[in-house]
């Protein structure tokens, strides 16, 4: 089977990472959570007081700090997932908080931040056989990806899913609080100047409002199988 690049974009809490991880495991591909990369930088900014309590980001200091920031992933053989590391510290559980969620869109909108992360992302995917999810993977990072998905879902469903996830990690918020956070992030992601969240012209939209994780995986695996058959028919 020909190795391909799979780019998954979409709104917050649409299950992009869940699907991407399952796909990577099914296909024996590498998986990169680009959202985690921006969350790592946001955590660095919060720790170093580059973001104030009113969510104002000192962009000049953030840009100057980029040379001090190293973000990478290391595979955990016990959990069978790649975990996020910031300057050699495992921060996988620390980047999923509401505080990070409240600030990540503004940090990720900084031109120099995106440029640094895109360089890393393209390097990670240069040999294909990769599933990468984020906000601009199909439109900017890998515009030539063989398969581009854009995921969406009803915002109330997304809020409930996100709330359940946070509760499982000991973080307690109301559905309305989570919904407001998601709507704020949606607006910032789609209106930022640098590579906003948009649908690639050749993407396939996957609305998973009423789909289970298993149904989503089955749908995409069939898409890939059909692509492979089409290619074999063309080249055979």
Confidence at residue 197, expressed as pLDDT on a 0 to 100 scale:
95
Of 110, 30, 109, the residue nearest 72 (C-alpha): 30
Beta bridge partners of 149: 8, 204
* pLDDT tens, the chain, 236 aa long: 789 999 999 999 999 999 999 999 999 999 999 999 999 999 999 999 999 989 999 999 999 999 999 999 988 888 777 899 999 999 999 999 999 999 999 999 999 999 999 999 999 999 999 999 999 999 999 999 999 999 999 999 999 999 998 999 899 999 999 999 999 999 999 999 989 999 999 999 999 999 999 999 999 999 999 988 776 655 55
Q: Give how far the C-alpha of residue 68 lies from the chain's centroid of Cα atoms, to the nearest Å.
A: 23
What pLDDT, on the 0 to 100 scale, is given for residue 59?
97
pLDDT at 234: 52
Give the strand order in the sheet containing 81-86: 71-76, 81-86, 89-90
The reply to whether CATH 3.30.1600.10 applies to domain 5-235 is no
Instruction: Map out the domains of the chain as residue ranges.
Output: 5-235
Return the residue matching tokens 């959570």. 33
CB 181 within 8 A of CB 187: no
Q: What is 169-226 written as a DSSP string?
A: TT----HHHHHHHHHHHHHHHHH-SSS-----TT-EEEE-TT--HHHHHHHHHHHHHH
Q: What is the pLDDT of residue 169?
A: 85
């Amino acid at each position: 089977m020909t190795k391909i690049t799979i780019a998954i974009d979409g709104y917050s809490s649409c299950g992009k990472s869940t699907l991407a991880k399952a796909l990577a495991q099914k296909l024996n591909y590498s998986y990169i959570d680009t959202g985690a990369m921006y969350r790592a930088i946001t955590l660095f900014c919060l720790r170093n007081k580059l973001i104030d309590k009113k969510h104002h980001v000192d962009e000049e200091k953030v840009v100057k700090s980029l040379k001090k920031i190293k973000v990478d992933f290391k595979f955990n053989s016990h959990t069978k997932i790649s975990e996020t590391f910031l300057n050699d510290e495992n921060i996988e559980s620390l980047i999923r908080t509401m505080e990070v969620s409240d600030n990540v869109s503004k940090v990720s909108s900084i031109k120099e931040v995106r440029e640094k992360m895109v360089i890393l992302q393209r390097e990670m995917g240069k040999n294909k056989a990769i599933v990468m999810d984020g906000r601009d993977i199909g439109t900017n990072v890998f515009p030539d990806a063989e398969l581009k998905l854009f995921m969406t879902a009803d915002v109330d469903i997304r809020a409930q899913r996100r709330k359940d996830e946070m509760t499982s990690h000991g973080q307690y918020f109301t559905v309305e609080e989570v919904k407001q956070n998601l709507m704020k992030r949606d607006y910032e992601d789609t209106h930022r100047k640098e590579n906003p969240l948009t649908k690639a012209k050749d993407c396939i939209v996957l609305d998973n409002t009423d789909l289970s994780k298993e149904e989503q995986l089955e749908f995409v695996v069939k898409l890939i199988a059909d692509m492979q058959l089409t290619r074999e028919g063309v080249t055979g």
